[in-house]
Amino acid sequence: MIHGHYHNSLSVHINESALQSTGHASLDDTISQLIAEHQEMVINTCYRFVLNREDAEDISQEVFIEAYRSLPKFRGDSKLSTWLYRIAVTKSLDHLRRKKRKKRFSSLKRIIGQEDPIQEIQLTAGSSPAEELLEKERLDVLQHALDALPENQKIAFLLSKNDGYSNQEIAEIMQTTVPAVESLVHRAKKSLQGKLEKIYKAKLG
């Protein structure tokens, strides 16, 4: 039974010296432990960026696959978890970039009269269609405002919204200092508030 043990395995510490070993079995064990320990944190990190559960799970799979490929190259400059979360951030940002490109392409298709059959519909259990619509609209507005943020502000702000990260950890992931993270988060909040107000001003105008 693969599932069900990850909570217990939180105490399991990956022996980073095991990474020096070239044996395939030890690499497999390490990745298996890594998944068990960090799957939820990785999924939730990706979720804060992409705001979609399915996408977050898909990206998280990619994160662990990338980790598996790059594990032999891991030099141990940072904690393994920090390195893993950095991959998660990079993959999430890549996904957002791809999505942006796709969106631009589908709007172009709409202009020339070819409707895109793939439309994202996200449903929240237990809410009325009107509430769902409102929620989706808010999420779209939020995503739009987030897209307009500079990348480092976006990363710092979204990681700060994830309960699991301290400013110290965010600084390690971003390879910067804690005061820099605090400043980025502050500027991101201010900028987001301004952008959102601008959007609603145009909407309610």
Partner 1 sequence: MQEWNTGNVKQGKPKENPMHQKQRQITLEAEKTLAMLDSLPRLEAHHLFRARVLERLAEEAGTPANQAFMNSYVVKMALMLMLLAVNIVTALLIMQPAEEESMLSRSDMLEIISDDYGSPAISYYLQDTKQEEE
In the complex, the residues that contact partner 1 under the rule CB under 8 A are: 2-4, 6, 24, 28, 31-32, 35-36, 39-40, 43-44, 47-48, 51, 53, 56-57, 60-61, 64-65, 68, 135, 138-139, 141-142, 145, 158, 161, 163, 189, 192-193, 196-197, 199-201, 204
Report, in Å, the least distance between residue 3 CB and partner 1. Answer: 4
Report, in Å, the least distance between residue 149 CB and partner 1. Answer: 12
Roughly what angle, to the nearest 10 degrees, separates helices 151-160 and 167-174? Answer: 150
Report, in Å, the least distance between residue 161 CB and partner 1. Answer: 5
Residue with tokens 């064990």, as numbered in its chain: 29
Reported for 108-111, long-range contacts at CB under 8 A and 24+ positions apart, including other chains, are none
- Separation CA 41–CA 45 (nearest Å): 6
Q: Are 45 and 162 in contact (CB under 8 A)?
A: yes
Closest by Cα among 83, 79, 82 to 69? 83
Measured from the CB atom, the residue of 73 and 201 that comes closer to partner 1 is 201
Measured from the CB atom, the residue of 34 and 173 that comes closer to partner 1 is 34
Measured from the CB atom, the residue of 61 and 152 that comes closer to partner 1 is 61
